[in-house]
Chains A and B, each alone.
Chain A
Amino acid sequence: MSPSDEESRLIRAAQSGDISAFATLVQRHHAGVRACLAVRLANSHDAEDLAQEAFVTAFRKLADCDPNRPIGPWLRGIAMNLLANHRRKFRALPIGLNEELQALIDNGLPSHLPAERENAALEALRDCLDQIEGPSRLLLQARYAEGMSLDELAQRLQRKTSAVSMQLHRLRVVIGDCVEATLRGTPPATTPS
């Protein structure tokens, strides 16, 4: 598949040093690159930092990029290389301090979401989120956009931390089902509320 004429023009302009053209490419491909990093990293800040690093690296290597081919996979390749280096340098503690469980998750997530499907999953997730309103939406917003901890949320909602944790878990399950159904092209019979 060849890229659109506009994307080819943007790549050529960026190759000649036009940062604003490259910024437009970043804007278009940020979600895809970040999503493929996000599902492979437990820390969302690390995923954000690596995505930014991937684009800066990509700009410096733009001469290697073929304007006649889609830039998405090329950017994704750079991001995956950076991820491999990151894992070598910063070995995070495994989930539950259990190496086997971590390996199961590390292998399971990419196979659960095949290559380059992360962006589609992100799009589906956004669609599913649009169907969530009211207190559940506010809770998700506070936790994931504002970065409030479970304890902060519990204090604010005057509930036990465990109760907030389970409410968030139920939301993740409902959203996960919705995403899965959307990706299969069969939206769920009942939408989350």
Chain B
Amino acid sequence: MNTMQWQTLAARAAEGTLSVEEGVQLLALCRESEEARVALMRVLTVERLLPLALSDPSGQYAAREVAMRLQQPDTASIQAAWRSAEKARRWLWQKHLRWVAAAAAIVLMLTGGAWWLDQIHTPAATLSRSEGIVWTGAAPSLKSSDLAKDTRLRAQAGLVELAFESGARMVLEGPFDVELKDGMHAYLHSGRISVRCPPSAHGFSVETTEGIAVDRGTEFCVHMVQGAAMEVHVLSGVVDVTAKNSGPTTTLFDNEGLRIHGPSIERIDADANTFVTSMPVSAGRAPGYIHWSFDEINAGTVVNNGKDLGVDGQARLDLLSYPDKVPTPGKGPQLIEGVSGKGLSLDGKAVYAESPFPGIGGTASRTVALWVRIPKELNKDSVYGHGIISWGSLTGPNAWQMSANTIVQDGPVGRLRLGIYDNGRIVGTTDLRDNQWHHIAVVMYGGSRASIATNVMLYVDGKPEIVTRKTRTEINTDVLNAGHGLWLGRNVAFPDPVRNGDPGPRFFKGDVDEVFIFNAALSHEEINTLMRTHHAPQ
């Protein structure tokens, strides 16, 4: 058997992407080799059983759906029941019996299954995954991932994914405050959530002080600002939204949204970019990385100890003194005692370092982590000039710069900040201005809808950082048109050559050590390992 050929063909057969020519080849292989045929059957069996093996192991959802259908003997299916309900609701609405209609539609869907849910003493949901979570008050018990009915979850930062008993999956983005009423109902006091409902969770509802959104087989998001407006954004499918204080039920379809604030109801466009709709997935491979430890320096150039990132010597780091273009011994940033071996001291006047490595571009995943010591005197008068590490171009929000914030309007001064230029930024909480070493890390989860608000996590001293300010700007780092490589200690907004009217040098004052750049999003655990060991996670 031609193993490589069989592997490719069997993979495509399992995925349903086999071309006509490949179909002929696979058939020939199976005919000439019993081993190939048996192996193909084995692979196809696994492919077909995997969805079943990874869902509903207890058969509970299936039993519930069957029971619901048997409760409605005159309708062929749940979908048919819904269509009937929808027709009735529209007819009643036209007859000005709006409240009756809304109630009828919801009740018809829920009553079939409600009795069954009550029969089963199961938790409302399980906590399936979390990333960088900072709970408010008591964290859920770590002994079990089960969350009982009426559990209230509050967090200041991070992401959590809940799997509801009904099959609904919810991603919550900190800060949030939510009560898990039961497997089909959550009460959102505040925060941003996204919900994906399989057929078994049709009728799943999210309630707030302003209204209630009832799923009808869909993916939708809810944003609730405590004491203010509720927004519902439908990404796909259909959702019924009923305001608490007024009006009929509004049916929303794909890409439609609704904002409710007291008696005010306003239609809006759904904006998927502003919600985290799925948990970050790790790279599934050992990431490439750059590592500048500053322990080995040759003629003013820092050696890169990393691997698989920055090829052909691109990832060296030249220690420079502005405006010199080549390292000159004694003129660039100075070596000092660092957290581990040597570190680098930058004076905030004219020294910085540059690497030909252009940085990680586009929407690709990345992690930047380093130790930093920031002087107490950094204040708002030190406006600009404090780019710790940066790359990218200034043509729109296409840059990438980590700094200690110095712009009062954007957030508290001295806090970890990631700026992508053109008003795109996220600012943390911990004041770094204490002349002590702190480990800082910024993790970006890639993806087609990468936004600085939803795809970036900040860590200080190994802990997820509570965010004080953030914008919802899309990340698309442009490394091709920057005109320079990666900068350490120089503000990306201080171009070269200097433009007329620029306010003068913008360099970072402080010390850095053990700089790591990864081409993948590291987990919270991996950030902690990095902080402790100064070695890339394997």
Q: Is the CB of B66 within 8 A of A169?
A: no
Q: Is the CB of A26 within 8 A of B62?
A: yes
Contact residues, A92-130 vs B (CB, 8 A): 94-98, 100-101, 104-105, 108-109, 112-113, 118, 121-122, 125-126, 129
Is B91 located at the chain interface by the 8 A CB criterion? no
Min distance, Cβ B478 to any Cβ of chain A, angstroms: 17
Contact residues, A1-39 vs B (CB, 8 A): 19-20, 22-24, 26-31, 34-35, 38-39
Q: Is the CB of A104 within 8 A of B27?
A: yes
Min distance, Cβ A122 to any Cβ of chain B, angstroms: 5
Contact A27-B11, Cβ < 8 Å, known A19-B70, A44-B52, A179-B46: no
Contact A96-B13, Cβ < 8 Å, known A166-B7, A180-B42: yes
Min distance, Cβ A90 to any Cβ of chain B, angstroms: 16
Q: Is the CB of A158 within 8 A of B67?
A: no
Q: Is the CB of A44 within 8 A of B48?
A: yes
Is A140 located at the chain interface by the 8 A CB criterion? yes
Residue from the list B40, B50, B70, B169 in contact with A22, Cβ < 8 A = B70
Min distance, Cβ A110 to any Cβ of chain B, angstroms: 10
Overall SS of chain A's interface: helix
Is A182 located at the chain interface by the 8 A CB criterion? no
Q: Is the CB of B67 within 8 A of A20?
A: yes
In the bound complex, what is the Cα–Cα distance between A140 and B55 (angstroms)? 12
1/0 per residue, CB under 8 A from A, across B48-66: the answer is: 1111111111111011111
- The closest CB in chain A to the CB of B116 belongs to A23
Is A136 located at the chain interface by the 8 A CB criterion? yes
Is A65 located at the chain interface by the 8 A CB criterion? no
Contact residues, B1-34 vs A (CB, 8 A): 7-8, 10-16, 18-20, 22-24, 26-27, 30
Residue among B41, B60, B115 with the highest chain A CB neighbour number at 10 A: B41
Residue from the list A48, A108, A125 in contact with B50, Cβ < 8 A = A125
Q: Is the CB of A39 within 8 A of B14?
A: no
Min distance, Cβ A37 to any Cβ of chain B, angstroms: 9
Contact residues, B332-360 vs A (CB, 8 A): none
Q: Is the CB of B520 within 8 A of A144?
A: no
Is B447 located at the chain interface by the 8 A CB criterion? yes
Residue from the list A24, A48, A145, A172 in contact with B46, Cβ < 8 A = A172
Is B364 located at the chain interface by the 8 A CB criterion? yes
User: For residue B67, which residues in chain A have a CB less than 8 angstroms away from its CB?
Assistant: 19-20, 22-23, 26
Is A56 located at the chain interface by the 8 A CB criterion? yes
In the bound complex, what is the Cα–Cα distance between A170 and B110 (angstroms)? 43
In the bound complex, what is the Cα–Cα distance between A107 and B384 (angstroms)? 71
Is B97 located at the chain interface by the 8 A CB criterion? no
Q: Is the CB of A24 within 8 A of B63?
A: yes
Q: Is the CB of B63 within 8 A of A97?
A: no
Is B285 located at the chain interface by the 8 A CB criterion? yes
Min distance, Cβ A152 to any Cβ of chain B, angstroms: 9
In the bound complex, what is the Cα–Cα distance between A173 and B59 (angstroms)? 27
User: For residue B51, which residues in chain A have a CB less than 8 angstroms away from its CB?
Assistant: 38, 44, 144-145
Q: Is the CB of A144 within 8 A of B54?
A: yes
Contact A138-B364, Cβ < 8 Å, known A52-B65, A108-B37, A169-B14: no
Number of A positions contacting B (CB below 8 A): 75
- The closest CB in chain B to the CB of A180 belongs to B42
User: For residue A63, which residues in chain B have a CB less than 8 angstroms away from its CB?
Assistant: none
Is B282 located at the chain interface by the 8 A CB criterion? yes
In the bound complex, what is the Cα–Cα distance between A39 and B423 (angstroms)? 54
In the bound complex, what is the Cα–Cα distance between A159 and B284 (angstroms)? 10
- The closest CB in chain B to the CB of A113 belongs to B45
User: For residue B54, which residues in chain A have a CB less than 8 angstroms away from its CB?
Assistant: 129, 140-141, 144-145
Q: Is the CB of B41 within 8 A of A158?
A: no
Q: Is the CB of A39 within 8 A of B43?
A: no
Q: Is the CB of A158 within 8 A of B23?
A: no
In the bound complex, what is the Cα–Cα distance between A172 and B448 (angstroms)? 28
Q: Is the CB of A52 within 8 A of B62?
A: yes
Q: Is the CB of B47 within 8 A of A98?
A: no
Residue from the list A24, A96, A108 in contact with B22, Cβ < 8 A = A96
User: For residue B16, which residues in chain A have a CB less than 8 angstroms away from its CB?
Assistant: 42, 95
In the bound complex, what is the Cα–Cα distance between A181 and B55 (angstroms)? 23
- The closest CB in chain A to the CB of B31 belongs to A104
- The closest CB in chain A to the CB of B448 belongs to A155
Chain B residues close to A by CB (< 8 Å) = 7-8, 10-16, 18-20, 22-24, 26-27, 30, 37-60, 62-67, 69-71, 115-116, 119, 169, 278, 281-285, 364-365, 446-448, 519-520
Instruction: Beyond A96-B20, A100-B27, list 17 extra A-B contacts (CB 8 Å).
Output: A19-B71, A20-B119, A23-B66, A28-B59, A38-B48, A42-B48, A51-B62, A96-B13, A125-B50, A129-B54, A142-B281, A158-B446, A158-B519, A165-B11, A172-B50, A173-B42, A175-B50
Closest 8 CB pairs of A and B: A96-B23, A30-B59, A98-B23, A169-B11, A135-B284, A96-B18, A112-B41, A176-B42
Q: List 13 A-B contacts (CB under 8 A).
A: A19-B70, A20-B115, A23-B67, A38-B51, A39-B45, A56-B70, A95-B23, A105-B40, A112-B45, A145-B55, A146-B278, A172-B46, A173-B39
